[in-house]
Amino acid sequence: MKKNGLRNLLATLVSLVTLLVFCVTPAYALSTADVTITATPEWLSMTNSVDNWTMGSVAEATTYWWSATGAQPASNPFNAGDMLSTISNLGSVLSDVKIHGHNFTAAGGAWALDVDGSPGADNVSIKYGITGENVTTMHYLTLSDVEIVDSIAATVGTMKWCMNLLTGTFTAGSNQTGVVTLNIFKHV
């Protein structure tokens, strides 16, 4: 009887262990599901067709033009043919373009950017205008971003523009280097 009791106990334990193995073993999936993500990035990109203005010698209290003819445009308002440079939006979104200037640099006696049109000693004023404006509606360049173009179309949008520079008086004869910066932003 001892043998049978032990045998029965052993059989019961084997059955219980087998049952536990099947109950505790997790079920595994036999297939998977994917989610495909498609995204189109927005990007900003622009060009400015003319990126240099070499003036040579300049006189005091004189206005110089960066325009198609190198002189004040005759048409009023300005037409595309008056303008020297073209801003092009090469990005993927409707954009705005902002402009700002920098004080000039020189080995000695660098010019400061005057923002009200009355440059004094070692100052210059720069004005900019776009197609459709005229001499009286041109804007003074400042050291902070100001919008020059609003809502320029993506990939094909362009705007033509020009500038003039009014010199003040000079206290030094050093070569001057100035920079005008254009920045593109997503239109909001």
Q: Which residue has the higher pLDDT, 18 or 167?
A: 167
Asked if the structure places residue 61 within a domain, the reply is yes
pLDDT, tens digit, 9 for 90 and up, residues 20-55: 555 555 666 678 899 999 999 999 999 999 999 999
The answer to whether residues 186 and 95 touch, using CB atoms and an 8 Å cutoff, is yes
Decide if 4 is inside a domain: no
- SS (HEC) of the chain: CHHHHHHHHHHHHHHHHHHHHHHHCCCCCCCCCCCCCCCCCCCCCEEECCCCCCCCCCCCCCEEEECCCCCCCCCCCCCHHHCCEEEEECCCCCEEEEEEECCCECCCCCCEEECCCCCCECEEEEEEEECCCCHHHCEECCCCCEEEEEEECCCCCEEEEEEEEEECECCCCCCCECCEEEEEEECC
Residue 127 confidence (pLDDT) above 90: yes
Q: Is 163 part of a structural domain of the chain? A: yes
Q: Is residue 43 part of a domain?
A: no
pLDDT of residue 123 exceeding 60: yes
Asked whether residue 157 is domain-assigned, the answer is: yes
Residue 135 confidence class, pLDDT cut points 50, 70, 90: very high
Reported as a pLDDT band with limits 50, 70 and 90, residue 180 is: very high
pLDDT at 166: 97
The answer as to whether 14 is a domain residue is: no
In a domain, 17, yes or no: no
134 in Cβ contact with 65 (< 8 Å): no
In the chain, the number of structural domains is: 1
Mean pLDDT (the chain) is 90
Q: Tens of pLDDT along 91-120? A: 999 999 999 999 999 988 899 999 988 999
Indicate whether 33 belongs to any domain: no
Q: Are 177 and 104 in contact (CB under 8 A)?
A: yes
Give the model's pLDDT for residue 107.
86
pLDDT band for 3, please (50, 70, 90 cuts).
Answer: low
Percent of the chain with pLDDT over 70: 87
pLDDT-wise least confident of 69-73, 96-100, 114-118, 176-180: 114-118
Structural domain of 96: 57-186
